[in-house]
Structure 1
């Protein structure tokens, strides 16, 4: 990886969904030793602390047009976008710790303005391509990829004052196994590249990652953002998530994926999200997240 300095940004957001506890994700990941792990790999680490989140009480008044906590989620993502923008301007790698997956709205808003042809790897059980019209729940953590494509409420799509943040042909989804009808339609309509669990099972993770890396390289991407939701892994390996889906990517397959991304040297920013310590077993999921970050940033056995 060309970066030698990493800036950690915590986003204790739990307003993009309804299960409490995911706001403690950044603390759990820090407790699991992320700073020490990366320092052992000879990176210079700057922990910038946490983005301030408006702790407004959840109420019907905050649910605007089938969008839960819209105002607070939008404001937090504006703050995150500004912070990520500053980090990239300083020539440092932004490592964002969630928090629920709605924080990807702010991450991509801060990142996208620095690249002409940004690629995105969406490592997740879900598509996160819902809108207020298609979402069964109104939870914004199921919408960040659609928002980043410029689809959705303008209070979200226009964060950082531009839209879209990424082109549909520059997205690769890995590990999908739970898609709503509206998401399936949008994937086909936009021609988004998806490697579902079927492809991972049939081809193997090595071939899937080779194909994903080759796809983004052929697209001529000048940067690639990795958005990794811990529910992309099987709940056996990552139990501390709010929306677990059985039959997911294994711990070892995920390490291989991160190792191959590290070897490709293509990741220029990333976020690890949806670690919920309340639902976890002895901080197992945060420890998994830290181990995967180790592989992504070049950790090797020998």
Structure 2
């Protein structure tokens, strides 16, 4: 059985500044509230998936289940550059290998956050979080529109891997976008999927063929560089213009191993962080992101919390709305 467990309050600690306007010196740890204190206001909602069962099934390095709280610790001391609220919905824990139950619990909790007007931010855990995130958004939009027809969700995945494997003995961290593709087929929906940073040395030709068969869009890691920036921005802009809602997911193994050593399957090449930041800004500017998450953070291999700090920085960049 999976369960949703509140986060220990001591996770959220950090510096308190007393100089200047108190509204302009707030940090994440000063803004965070448990979901039980939600009173109808919108804002960000953090939701962890403390699970690496999908990584284990996919023969990766386990340890990602401990990831969400360490990302929180690195978020805690960052400056709060928004004028709304911040809620912690807790962690969905995968118990006794029940990955499917954990994904269901995650998606159901995410639906509640969306109904409250929040922007949910998922904290992984393995990339099995992606099926829970997509399904939660799809369920919410179906309930909102009373029908799955017309759902026009685009998935943007920064990842060295397609994660389009067909399940062999149940879902895994390598199957979420295949699950999404099957869901779309059964519902009569278009499968809108853009994978940025995919590595030819980390995916078999069969996976590239599957991506082509599913009409998935992708840009390989060797194409992501500054000389190609105009093309990259155009591709991302074109993709976001074709959809009504964006689910954005970042697998930390898309970055070079010196920047993200703490992952389940480290990259060899990776993509530049500065180019990623520009593309994330372009996606953010579309104003269509409804759900986002960070996946595959594994603290067992993270020297000096380097990868957790990167995850926190990415979240901060994506959610930053400086108060004027």
Under a length normalisation based on structure 1, what TM-score does the superposition of the two structures give? 0.81
Following TM superposition, by how much is the alpha carbon of 1:17 offset from its aligned partner in structure 2, in angstroms? Answer: 1.4
| Rg comparison, structure with higher value | 2
Indicate the SS of the match to 1:16.
Answer: helix
- Where do 4+ consecutive residues of structure 1 move more than 6 Å? none
| Equivalent of 2:86 in 45, 50, 55 | 45
- What is the aligned partner in structure 1 of residue 196 from structure 2? 174
Match status 1:5 vs 2:31: no
Question: Compared with structure 1, are the counterparts of its residues 52 and 271 closer, same or farther at alpha carbon in structure 2 (3 Å cutoff)?
Answer: same
Calculate the aligned-residue CA RMSD, in Å. 2.6
- What is the aligned partner in structure 2 of residue 256 from structure 1? 278
- What is the aligned partner in structure 2 of residue 142 from structure 1? 174
Of stretches 9-18 and 181-190 in structure 1, the one that deviates more from structure 2 is: 181-190
> After superposition, what is the alpha-carbon deviation per residue over 1:224-252, rounded to whole angstroms, capped at 9, x for unaligned?
00011000111121111010121111222
Of stretches 202-211 and 185-194 in structure 1, the one that deviates more from structure 2 is: 202-211
Match status 1:87 vs 2:113: yes
**Alignment coverage as a number of residue pairs:** 268
Match status 1:287 vs 2:309: yes
- What is the aligned partner in structure 2 of residue 103 from structure 1? 129
The whole-number CA distance in structure 2 between the counterparts of 1:149 and 1:216 is 18
Following TM superposition, by how much is the alpha carbon of 1:265 offset from its aligned partner in structure 2, in angstroms? Answer: 2.1
Alignment of 1:216-255 (within 5 A): 216-217=240-241, 219=242, 221-255=243-277
- What is the aligned partner in structure 2 of residue 154 from structure 1? none
> After superposition, what is the alpha-carbon deviation per residue over 1:241-269, rounded to whole angstroms, capped at 9, x for unaligned?
01012111122222222222222322111
Question: Compared with structure 1, are the counterparts of its residues 50 and 81 closer, same or farther at alpha carbon in structure 2 (3 Å cutoff)?
Answer: same
Which runs of 5 or more residues in structure 2 are unaligned? 1-40, 142-150
Indicate the SS of the match to 1:127.
Answer: coil
